[in-house]
Amino acid sequence: MSGGEWQVERLAREGGAVERWTILGEARRNSLTMAMLAGLRDLAARAAGDRALRVVVLTGAGDRAFCAGADLKERARMGDGDVASFHRALREALGALEALPQPVVAALNGAALGGGLELALACDLRVAAEGVEVGLPEVGLGIIPGGGGTARLPRLVGLGRAKELVLTGRRVGSAEALAIGLVTQVAPAARLQEAALALADRLARNAPISLRQAKRALDGGFDLPLEGPAVPGVSALGPSGKKADYCNYATKPGAGEIELSAPGGWSRDGSGRRPTAPRRT
């Protein structure tokens, strides 16, 4: 399936459905256009209601860039009002991506710069090909990161390191990005997609409701005090407040709502059968 500036592949993987979303803009280094952001918002809206979808992998076409930030050629044709609209569209699209109930893995097939790194930061996990460069070079261009990078980067690497990166605007190679926690894994370029899908499989093999609720608890609870109420709307016991709820709930493809499966175990396929012993990788 491909629509506009995105290619969407639905992959039936062992752990459940995984989708790979690829930015189709290799000639412009997958830079961000208004059409591409509208496409991302539509994809996120659809995925948010898709209970069978376990994990999304987001990547770019080719091997030069994951995303080179705002499309500077489109930008050159814009007036001030259009630029403001672009920034609003950028924040909305990245917010919708970040708010997806499913985990999203960014597969950095090439450079992720400016809005391109902000796009990667709105994902949950980042796997980079060896040799790619990432950075927020905006201050050198007379602007500042406008897509949430100044808020998301410090949460990932700490305020001091984020200040160093944003205020210098310097680019970081994949090895340093791994060392500072900006990416969680580096793979040889030829094996990047395989590595990202293997990680997606590792996530998708887990109990589906637990996976979504754990993401919600992490995002919602990150900056809450340790004592006090739990993250609003997320109970460690599951939706009904009963023991091991998350283990007893399964997501059935096609069913609008979460359904209770046979007691004793969640099922990957909605059959209610207990899964075979989990693999450890």
> Contacts with ligand COA in 194-253 (CB under 6 A)?
none
Taking CB under 6 A as the criterion, the residue among 15, 69, 147, 148 binding ligand COA is: 69
> Taking a C-beta distance cutoff of 8 angstroms, is the pair 71, 117 a contact?
no
> Taking a C-beta distance cutoff of 8 angstroms, is the pair 250, 270 a contact?
yes
Nearer to ligand COA, 151 or 255 (CB): 151
- 64 forms part of the interface with ligand COA (CB under 6 A): yes
Q: Give me the phi and psi of 273, to 5 degrees please.
A: -75, 145
Taking CB under 6 A as the criterion, the residue among 44, 68, 199, 200 binding ligand COA is: 68
Annotation says 133 is catalytic: no
The contact pattern for ligand COA, residues 136-175, with x = CB under 6 A and - = no contact, is -xx--x----------------------------------
Give the N- to C-terminal CA distance of the chain in Å, as an integer. 31
Task: Provide the token pair at 120.
Answer: 């990667």
| Distance from chain centroid for Cα 86 | 21
Task: Provide the token pair at 197.
Answer: 């899908």
Amino acid at 73: K
| Distance from chain centroid for Cα 77 | 30
Annotation says 194 is catalytic: no
The contact pattern for ligand COA, residues 70-109, with x = CB under 6 A and - = no contact, is xxxx------------------------------------
Strand-pairing partners, residue 19, are 10, 56
**With CB under 6 A as the contact rule, which of the stretches 63-71, 154-162, 190-198, 249-257 interacts with ligand COA?**
63-71
- 36 forms part of the interface with ligand COA (CB under 6 A): no
Give the up-direction half-sphere exposure of residue 214: CA atoms within 13 A in the CB hemisphere: 12
Catalytically annotated residues? 118, 138
Residues in contact with ligand COA by the rule CB under 6 A: 28-29, 31, 64-65, 68-73, 111, 113-114, 137-138, 141
